[in-house]
Amino acid sequence: MNATEFQRKRGRIDGDNRLSDSTRARLLKRLIVDAGARRIFHGENGLLGYRMPNGEMVCKKERFRTEEAATVYMRSLVNFTGRVPKRVYYCSNCKGFHLTSQERAIFE
Q: How far is CA 96 from the centre of its chain?
A: 10
Report pLDDT for 104: 73
Kindly state the percentage of the chain with pLDDT values over 70: 93
CB 93 within 8 A of CB 49: yes
Q: Residue 45 to residues 41, 42, 56, 60, 76: CA-CA distances in angstroms?
A: 8, 6, 20, 12, 27
Report pLDDT for 47: 85
Report pLDDT for 32: 96
Residue 96 has pLDDT above 60, yes or no: yes
Which residues make Cβ contacts (< 8 Å) with residue 22, sequence separation at least 6? none
pLDDT in tens, 19-35: 999 999 999 999 999 99
What is the length of the chain?
Answer: 108
pLDDT in tens, 60-87: 888 899 999 999 988 888 776 777 888 9
pLDDT band at 107 (very low <50, low <70, confident <90, very high): low
**In the chain, domain spans:** 1-60, 61-108
